[in-house]
């Protein structure tokens, strides 16, 4: 290095220029910033460098993570080539400065080869810049660069990240041969957008190439199986993972846990979790989620404690699952204990935790605390809005729910499927029939939400509350809920309230065709006859129940329905297992 320093720099000799390049390479390898700056000073003082030396100087600063100095060299170059731009673009990309990479692309014209282009497209994907990514794609087509697999994959990934799956499909259809990265990108793109139908054909194509899958492919396919509840396919994928010993991979193992949990198989989810040699917070959270999704709330809370005892620190998603378990149990005391834990560990205020806190408080009868959490949040996503809207609706605060919904629209947050369930429920409480049909038939179409059973059931309740029972019956018959017992039972209950006994008898007959031994319907029909002083009808209903072996279970409190283990926890004076955890943390 000392000999290299003694070599004169900046003259026109070819040998001396080569020496300068060698010095820069050695300095970059050793991280000796002073040498590079000395050579840079020669350039500033007027020494003549050609583009090769400039490029090596840029590469040196990029290697030393001095991107500001690299940009100074780039801007001072009398002429540039494609390598110049690629070096700086790569430096920005590797440092996560994707906006700077795109700004460089817009401000300068240094020509783009396949490497520069793939870096530019990757930067557009990171910042979700669809327009810039599309321009890069157009340049790739004009320059004939799309045949490079890494350019094609970068473009495909960009469209998936920007939620333009139609464009991604067009690119994918032109992939000449099987490319595992392209398949993984497409499946994850569809899953992230919730477009399950689009991923089906991709999965079918991938199954035929299972020997070429990597662990990312297994995670993506298992995510598809979880979303579609395809337990058979998921089990087959699990078998293939066993053959390749990939079930021991923490990411594949966590995906297996998630798949079995969403396919209503918590036992196999727990088995997949148990075989993992190393369990991290992701795998612990996955099995907790599996239990919570299958309403095994107390087991999920026990797992939360086990995770702490194993020395694995919960993250915001772990706390969110535990809080949602408390919500399922309407367990305000343990929910408050978890809230205290999040404050102590620094997780309070994070979006997943705040959303789960709102859910817990709403379902535990403390809507005012849910409102306080909502107002304290610096940012709301669609889950936040849905939690407070449905919370207000469930507590009978319909006007407040509608006010928050209007605030949501003003904030330009797109309503989701769940949003409209809460809104239509609020409309039913307020008797807003016209508004309800507007939301169902007009607004839901405008925002791209397809009405489902829950929305139609809310509309039945809305019509019934308004006393428009014949319209409610016609609405049920003409929509996808004509086989839904809950909708028919709602109408039957309204027939009793509004003393429309003739229609009530017809509705009861319809329910018996769908579910001959539905206890609730027999009870409603018997009560309806009793209210009309039709005691002969009451006797007939009771006799029919005896003949069919239908028995009304005696009423019990919520506590009586809980497992004995959880009853003991609730009866403890300190409020259960999580209180102890809170005291330990505090």
Domain assignment of residue 271, yes or no: yes
**Where is the domain boundary, 249, 270, 291?**
291
Considering the domain architecture, whether residues 256 and 189 belong to the same structural domain is answered as yes
**Where is the domain boundary, 244, 267, 291?**
291
Compute the distance between CA of residue 521 and CA of residue 155 in angstroms, rounded to an integer.
57
* Spatial contact of 298 and 569, defined as CB atoms under 8 Å apart: yes
Domain assignment of residue 385, yes or no: no
Domain assignment of residue 206, yes or no: yes
Considering the domain architecture, whether residues 187 and 276 belong to the same structural domain is answered as yes
**Secondary structure string (H, E, C) spanning 147-202:** CCHHHHHHHHHHHHHCCCHHHHHHHHHCCCCCCHHHHHHHHHHHHHHCCHHHHHHH
Domain that holds residue 285: 178-291
Considering the domain architecture, whether residues 265 and 325 belong to the same structural domain is answered as no
CB under 8 Å to 258, separation ≥6 — which residues?
Answer: 222, 223, 226, 269, 286, 289, 290
**What DSSP string runs through 366-412?**
-HHHHHHHHHH-S---HHHHHHHHHHHHHTT-HHHHHHHHHHHHHTT
Compute the distance between CA of residue 23 and CA of residue 145 in angstroms, rounded to an integer.
35
Per-residue model confidence (pLDDT) at position 561: 47
Considering the domain architecture, whether residues 259 and 353 belong to the same structural domain is answered as no
Nearest alpha carbon to residue 447 among 407, 426, 418: 418
Compute the distance between CA of residue 507 and CA of residue 491 in angstroms, rounded to an integer.
7
Domain assignment of residue 506, yes or no: no
Considering the domain architecture, whether residues 308 and 229 belong to the same structural domain is answered as no
Domain assignment of residue 337, yes or no: yes
* Spatial contact of 325 and 294, defined as CB atoms under 8 Å apart: no
Considering the domain architecture, whether residues 302 and 280 belong to the same structural domain is answered as no
Per-residue model confidence (pLDDT) at position 133: 82
Report in angstroms the alpha-carbon separations of 26 from 10, 33, 71.
Answer: 18, 11, 21
Per-residue model confidence (pLDDT) at position 354: 96
Considering the domain architecture, whether residues 278 and 366 belong to the same structural domain is answered as no
Q: For tokens 């090769």, what's the residue?
A: 52
Considering the domain architecture, whether residues 269 and 347 belong to the same structural domain is answered as no
Nearest alpha carbon to residue 258 among 300, 227, 302: 227
**Where is the domain boundary, 239, 257, 291?**
291
Per-residue model confidence (pLDDT) at position 15: 59
Q: Which two tokens stand for residue 447?
A: 């925002």
Nearest alpha carbon to residue 409 among 393, 420, 425: 420
Using 50 as the pLDDT threshold, list the residues of the chain that sit under it: 1-12, 556-576, 579, 582-586
Considering the domain architecture, whether residues 286 and 300 belong to the same structural domain is answered as no
Domain assignment of residue 576, yes or no: yes
Domain assignment of residue 262, yes or no: yes
DSSP label at 11?
S
Considering the domain architecture, whether residues 232 and 265 belong to the same structural domain is answered as yes
DSSP label at 48?
-
Report in angstroms the alpha-carbon separations of 465 from 139, 442, 509, 510.
Answer: 60, 22, 22, 21
Considering the domain architecture, whether residues 214 and 280 belong to the same structural domain is answered as yes
Domain assignment of residue 6, yes or no: no
Terminal C-alpha separation, the chain: 57
Considering the domain architecture, whether residues 276 and 198 belong to the same structural domain is answered as yes
Per-residue model confidence (pLDDT) at position 448: 84
Q: According to DSSP H, which parts of 330-363 are helical?
A: 332-345, 351-363
Report in angstroms the alpha-carbon separations of 571 from 173, 332, 568.
Answer: 61, 14, 5
Number of domains forming the structure of the chain: 2
* Spatial contact of 127 and 105, defined as CB atoms under 8 Å apart: no
Locate the DSSP E strands across 420-475: none
Q: Which two tokens stand for residue 287?
A: 């099995």
Compute the distance between CA of residue 514 and CA of residue 500 in angstroms, rounded to an integer.
22
**What DSSP string runs through 203-249?**
HHHHHTTGGG--HHHHHHHHHHHHHHT-HHHHHHHHHHHHHTTGGGS
Compute the distance between CA of residue 377 and CA of residue 284 in angstroms, rounded to an integer.
27
């Amino acid at each position: 290095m000392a000999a290299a320093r003694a070599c004169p720099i900046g003259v026109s000799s070819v040998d001396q220029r080569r020496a300068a390049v060698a010095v820069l390479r050695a300095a970059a390898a050793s991280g000796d910033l002073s040498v590079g700056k000395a050579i840079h000073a020669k350039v500033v003082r007027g020494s003549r460098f050609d583009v090769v030396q400039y490029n090596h100087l840029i590469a040196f600063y990029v290697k030393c993570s001095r991107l500001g100095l690299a940009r100074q060299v780039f801007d001072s170059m009398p002429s540039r080539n494609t390598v110049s731009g690629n070096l700086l673009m790569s430096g920005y990309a590797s440092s996560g400065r994707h906006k700077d990479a795109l700004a460089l692309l817009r401000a300068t014209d240094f020509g783009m080869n396949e490497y520069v282009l793939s870096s530019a497209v990757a930067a557009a994907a990171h910042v979700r810049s669809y327009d810039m990514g599309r321009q890069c794609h157009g340049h790739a087509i004009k320059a004939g660069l799309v045949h490079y697999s890494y350019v094609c994959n970068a473009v495909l990934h960009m469209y998936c990240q920007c939620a333009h799956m139609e464009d991604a499909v067009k690119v994918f259809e032109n992939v000449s041969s099987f490319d595992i990265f392209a398949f993984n990108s497409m499946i994850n793109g569809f899953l992230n957008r919730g477009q399950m139908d689009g991923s089906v054909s991709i999965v079918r194509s991938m199954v035929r190439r299972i020997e070429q899958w990597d662990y990312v492919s297994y995670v993506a396919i298992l995510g598809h199986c979880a979303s579609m509840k395809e337990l058979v396919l998921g089990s087959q994928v699990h078998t293939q993972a066993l053959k390749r010993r990939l079930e021991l991979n923490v990411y594949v193992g966590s995906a297996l846990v998630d798949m079995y949990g969403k396919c209503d198989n918590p036992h196999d989810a727990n088995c997949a979790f148990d075989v993992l040699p190393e369990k991290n917070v992701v795998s612990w959270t996955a099995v907790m989620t599996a239990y919570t999704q299958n309403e095994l709330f107390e087991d999920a809370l026990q797992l939360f404690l086990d995770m702490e005892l194993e020395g694995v620190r919960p993250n915001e998603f772990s706390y969110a699952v535990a809080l949602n378990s408390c919500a399922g149990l309407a367990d305000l005391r343990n929910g408050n204990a978890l809230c205290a834990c999040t404050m102590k560990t620094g997780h309070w205020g994070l979006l997943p935790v705040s959303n789960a806190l709102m859910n817990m408080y709403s379902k535990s009868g403390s809507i005012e605390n849910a409102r306080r959490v909502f107002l304290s949040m610096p940012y709301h996503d669609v889950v936040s809005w849905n939690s407070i809207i449905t919370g207000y609706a469930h507590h009978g605060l319909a006007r407040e729910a509608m006010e928050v919904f209007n605030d949501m629209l003003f904030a330009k947050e797109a309503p989701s499927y769940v949003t409209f369930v809460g809104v239509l429920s609020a409309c039913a409480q307020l008797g807003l029939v016209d508004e309800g049909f507007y939301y169902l038939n007009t607004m839901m179409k405008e925002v791209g939400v397809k009405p489902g059973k829950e929305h139609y059931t809310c509309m039945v309740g809305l019509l019934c509350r308004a006393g428009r029972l014949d319209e409610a019956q016609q609405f049920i018959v003409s929509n996808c809920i004509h086989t839904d017992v809950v909708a028919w039972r709602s109408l039957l209950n309204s027939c009793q309230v509004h003393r429309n006994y003739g229609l009530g008898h017809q509705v009861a007959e319809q329910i018996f065709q769908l579910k001959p031994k539905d206890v609730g319907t027999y009870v409603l029909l018997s009560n309806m006859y009793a209210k009309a002083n039709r005691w002969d009808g009451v006797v007939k209903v009771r006799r029919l129940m005896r003949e069919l072996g239908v028995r009304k279970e005696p009423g019990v409190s919520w506590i009586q329905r809980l497992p004995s283990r959880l009853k003991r926890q609730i009866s403890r004076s300190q409020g259960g297992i999580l209180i102890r955890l809170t005291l330990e943390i505090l």
